[in-house]
Amino acid sequence: MNLKLKFKDLLLLVLIYFGFCPLNFAQNSADNCFKTGADRPELYLPLLKDKTIAVVTNQTGLLQDKTFLVDFLVKNKVKIKSIFAPEHGFRGDADAGEHVKNGVDTKTGIPIVSLYGSNKKPKPEQLKDIDVVLFDIQDVGVRFYTYISTLTYVMEAAAENNVEVIVLDRPNPHDGYIDGPLMKNEWKSFIGMHNIPVVYGLTIGEYGKMVNGEQWLNNKVQAKYTLIPMLNYHKKQRYGVSDKPSPNLPNDTAINLYPSLCFFEGTQVSVGRGTDLPFQIYGSPWTKNMPYQFTPRPNFGAKDPFLNGKLCYGENLSTTNPDWRELNIDWLLSAYKNYKNKDQNFFLKNLFFDKLAGSDELRKQIIAGKTAEEIKDSWKNDLANFQKIRSKYVIYED
């Protein structure tokens, strides 16, 4: 009898523990219970009590049991006036740059407002009667990925309209290191709003703290900003993501390669949009000396892909070590050296490449024949200076 009681007590303890420490990531263990900000409702639900809120989220705003944050909040009787959706839309199925219409969430009846296209920043009337904007989006930790720009505009609008911002933090797949050229003022845009490197080594919650603390918002306004931190998060440990952040980042390999391959979006080289391996391959019809072949075709993630229907020659990187994280420019240099087209420059005429790089320096270095080592050496001083800023806002083990 006593043995049975002891077993029941032990079982109860196990159930209580795993009830609070959900096994949604491979790294979870008895001594390392990991939770995202969204999975710590005991910290944020009291802050939403008797408040009218707007939620900035998309398909990645999931709790560990795969419940959507919006559905969880409704179930807990939180008053949601509207949902703000970033690039790719509330369900995350729109192409990069595609216009996303306003609408209504069919499940809850809550109005959806697109924060993309001509309405990247919430308007005062869209924040009327809102007490709190709750932000929960899985970011990828790369400067030209636009979710941090959406957060910036949300914070700015909130500060201007006396609305609080609460960020539910999530892992950064490119945490634990910084790399790449720094954004310069002349080239600032929605794909690069601040003077940071391509890989900046902060979670989206830490990033918001930096934007606020450094007074990078327009007219140096500062938002009332609250961060709901993750539990037992370590910057150099790899965590899974709740759902693919956007249609063309379908897996960890694509996310790992994204900081390196996205530069090709400013060139005549495809990054595999319109194939089964987006951001895991690259190539063009004019790099015929390269071994891998593919042909972009319209698909779910790319309705009209770049180089649609054209045979491309390049390289397949899909078997890259899944734990590999680094900004590699060897592929960019290799494609440039192999590019043979007398009618079209390697770089697009609109010089979108410079916006991605943060200035015209990288493009000029490539044209001048600089080596990868020489190019990376030119970033060192800027990275060292940025590290001094970044270090003020790190809240997790670095």
Tens digits of pLDDT across the chain (398 residues): 444 444 444 433 333 334 445 433 334 443 469 999 999 999 999 999 999 999 999 989 999 999 999 999 999 999 999 999 886 556 544 444 444 456 888 888 999 999 988 889 999 999 999 999 999 999 999 999 999 999 999 999 999 999 999 999 999 999 999 999 999 999 999 999 999 999 999 999 999 999 999 999 999 999 999 999 999 999 989 888 888 898 899 999 999 999 999 999 999 999 999 999 999 999 999 999 999 999 999 998 898 999 999 999 999 999 988 777 889 999 999 999 999 999 999 999 999 999 999 999 999 999 999 999 999 999 999 999 999 999 999 999 87
Residue 174 confidence (pLDDT) = 96
pLDDT at 92 (0 to 100): 42
CB neighbours of 322 closer than 8 A, spacing ≥ 6? 252, 253, 256
- pLDDT given for residue 101 in this prediction: 59
Overall CATH class of domain 37-242: alpha beta
So what's the pLDDT on residue 150? 96
Q: According to the model, what pLDDT value does residue 28 have?
A: 41
The pLDDT tens digits for 356-398 are 999 999 999 999 999 999 999 999 999 999 999 999 999 998 7
Helix (H, G, I), strand (E, B) or coil at 294: strand
DSSP secondary structure code for residue 265 in this structure = G
CA 174 to CA 172: how far, in whole Å? Answer: 5
What confidence score (pLDDT) does residue 364 get? Answer: 98
3-state secondary structure string, the chain? CHHHHHHHHHHHHHHHHHHHCCCCCCCCECCECCECHHHCHHHHHHHHCCCEEEEEECCCCECCCCCEHHHHHHHCCCEEEEEEECCCCCCCCCCCCCCCCCEECCCCCCEEEECCCCCCCCCHHHCCCCCEEEEECCCCCECCCCHHHHHHHHHHHHHHCCCEEEEECCCCCCCCCCEEEECCHHHCECCECCCCEEECCCCHHHHHHHHHHCCCCHHHCCCCEEEECCECCECCCCCCCCCCCCCCCCCHHHHHHHHHHHHHHHECCECCCCCCCCCCEEEECCCCCCCEEECCCCECCECCCCCCCCCEEEEECCCCCCCCCCCCCHHHHHHHHHCCCCCCCCECCCCHHHHHHCCCHHHHHHHCCCCHHHHHHCCHHHHHHHHHHHCCCCCCEC
Domain with CATH 3.40.50.12170 in the chain: 37-242
